[in-house]
Amino acid sequence: MDSPSVEKIHTMDKEGNEITSVGFERFGFDSAVQLDVLRSLYLRPHYVTTIHSSLNSPKLNGGSSKREQEEEEHEHARFIQGFGLYQSKSIYHPDDHSISYTTLSRFPPVKLLAPDKRKRILVTGGAGFVGSHLVDRLMLLGHDVTVLDNFFTGSKTTVSHWVGHPNFEMVRHDVVEPFMIECDQIYHLACPASPPHYQYNPVKTVKTSFMGTLNMLGLAKRTKARFLISSTSEVYGDPEVHPQTEDYWGHVNPIGPRACYDEGKRVAETLTYGFQSQDGVDVRVARIFNTFGPRMNPFDGRVVSNFIIQALKGEDMTVFGDGKQTRSFQYIHDLIDGLIALMNSNETRPVNIGNGDEFTIGEFAELVRDVVEKVQEEDGCKPARKVEIIYGPIPKDDPQRRRPDTTRAKETLGWQPRWTVRMGVEEMVRYYKAKMAEGSI
């Protein structure tokens, strides 16, 4: 197994400086953590190993042979190289087609905060891609975190490494139903984000956006918690203004296939500002542009995961349309920095959070192919055949251009993206590659 090691990865920021930590101190809230600690939680947090049970010691009767134990220890030693101690594992026994799970025996150290600094934070959608990274950060920073999720697109495994920690709680709950908890801050993220997922049940997507946001705003009103909603660049639709500033009202087809999400988020913003003006709720609105990173569901149909998985498997990469439509891709850690800065700032207007590096989808396919080849070459497993980029039909209402104007975030939050798209893609390639090597993709 060619597992990557943390030591091998050197990540440079846009200025060419090495990134060793993410986050920063803003508005009295320190969000900085070491990148290696975060990586130990997402690059290889859990692994699956296959062990053949010996006939004399059936595992289901509680025993395991010395040989099995040695094999397990050997596999573990190979796995954790450079990743510290914070992994769990599953052992697959093909002989009787069973699997045993272990949870973490140790948690990474979290900050010890004074009571007035320690917040009780609710993260709806906390088991999803963005939510789980936010949870890692808030946990490491020493806060009390509750995840509320119905696991529609998220998975318990994204945050299972915190289960059992005294600062952590996970609740299965659908936000379209009211929920009560005492808290200081609410990050309201619950909503499917990939087009195939949100179009799977459009009525439910609208309900989640409207009723879910209504319920969480009601909770913020009762508890006086500060409320942040993860809105989206989709509120700008297929934009006629480029790049998009927060003052642009958008160009959205209200009855097209993307409307359940786009209009859902627009009305969620309307509700948010309604609660602000009517009830004095303390609100923040983040308009997030395309974000990618490890833990993205490899099969959720979004372009970054599709391209990387296709290239790693040696399959053709499927560009929709002529590939001239553009997107601007941001790496997950920049987004988390931006969300935390916004939550703790005094900025109540909508704020774009995204990376201004704009690519045509055709160019982006080439970049992904390039990075996958580089990683395969470094790991000594470059395939003989070069992956092809092929072109197919474009989905209805696919926006033609998208790039954030992030002047407001820079001026009011002191935030700007640090990760280059290439560096982010490289980390994500290593993540998916490791998952494929262990057989879980």
**Closest separation in Å from C-beta 298 to ligand UDP:** 12
Token pair 């005492």 in the structure block, residue: 182
Residue 306 interacting partner from ligand UDP, ligand NAD, none (CB closer than 5 to 8 Å by kind) = ligand UDP
Q: Tokens in use for 68?
A: 């099995």
Residue 214 interacting partner from ligand UDP, ligand NAD, none (CB closer than 5 to 8 Å by kind) = none
Contact 189, 128 (CB under 8 A): yes
Q: What is the CA 229 to chain-centroid distance, rounded? A: 16
243 preceded by a cis bond (ω within 30 of 0): yes
Rounded Cα gap, residues 97 and 104, in angstroms: 23
Piece of the chain touching ligand UDP by CB under 6 A; list 111-119, 178-186, 209-217, 313-321: 313-321
For ligand UDP (CB under 6 A), the number of binding residues is 14
For ligand NAD (CB under 6 A), the number of binding residues is 28
**Cα torsion 143, 148, 153, 156: sign:** positive
Contact letters (x/-) for ligand NAD, 107-126, by CB under 6 A?
------------------x-
Q: Which of 42, 236, 261, 331 is catalytic?
A: 261
Q: Exactly one of 46, 89, 137, 302 binds ligand UDP (CB under 6 A); which one?
A: 302
**Closest separation in Å from C-beta 59 to ligand NAD:** 33
**Closest separation in Å from C-beta 320 to ligand UDP:** 4
Residues 147-206 that bind ligand NAD (CB under 6 A): 149-154, 174-176, 189-193, 197
Rounded Cα gap, residues 141 and 415, in angstroms: 19
Rounded Cα gap, residues 268 and 262, in angstroms: 10
Q: Exactly one of 165, 204, 398, 441 binds ligand UDP (CB under 6 A); which one?
A: 398
Q: Is residue 303 within the footprint of ligand UDP (CB under 6 A)? A: yes
**Closest separation in Å from C-beta 106 to ligand NAD:** 26
Token pair 């990586």 in the structure block, residue: 39
287 or 302: whose CB is closer to ligand UDP?
302
Token pair 């372009």 in the structure block, residue: 303
**Closest separation in Å from C-beta 303 to ligand NAD:** 10
**Closest separation in Å from C-beta 381 to ligand UDP:** 24
By DSSP bridging, strand 358-360 and strand 326-328 are: antiparallel
Q: Is residue 395 within the footprint of ligand UDP (CB under 6 A)? A: yes
Q: Is residue 131 within the footprint of ligand NAD (CB under 6 A)? A: yes
Rounded Cα gap, residues 287 and 374, in angstroms: 33
Contact 435, 299 (CB under 8 A): no
Rounded Cα gap, residues 305 and 309, in angstroms: 6
Contact 366, 313 (CB under 8 A): no
Q: Exactly one of 325, 330, 344, 406 binds ligand UDP (CB under 6 A); which one?
A: 325
Q: Tokens in use for 321?
A: 């349309």
132 or 306: whose CB is closer to ligand UDP?
306
Q: Exactly one of 230, 244, 290, 376 binds ligand UDP (CB under 6 A); which one?
A: 290
Q: Is residue 320 within the footprint of ligand UDP (CB under 6 A)? A: yes
45 or 404: whose CB is closer to ligand UDP?
404
Rounded Cα gap, residues 272 and 266, in angstroms: 10
Q: What angle do CA 22, 23, 27 make, to 5 degrees?
A: 170
Strands (DSSP E) found in 156-293? 168-172, 185-188, 226-232, 283-288, 291-292
Q: What angle do CA 257, 263, 267 make, to 5 degrees?
A: 160
Rounded Cα gap, residues 41 and 35, in angstroms: 10
Instruction: Choose among 270, 397, 410, 284: nearest CA to 354.
Output: 410
Piece of the chain touching ligand NAD by CB under 6 A; list 71-79, 127-135, 417-425, 430-438: 127-135
Contact letters (x/-) for ligand UDP, 78-117, by CB under 6 A?
----------------------------------------
261 is catalytic: yes
Contact 278, 118 (CB under 8 A): no
Q: Exactly one of 139, 159, 319, 342 binds ligand UDP (CB under 6 A); which one?
A: 319
Interface residues toward ligand NAD, by CB under 6 A: 125, 127-131, 149-154, 174-176, 189-193, 197, 208, 212, 230, 232, 288, 290-291
Interface residues toward ligand UDP, by CB under 6 A: 195, 290, 302-303, 306, 318-320, 325, 327, 361, 394-395, 398
| Residues marked as catalytic | 261
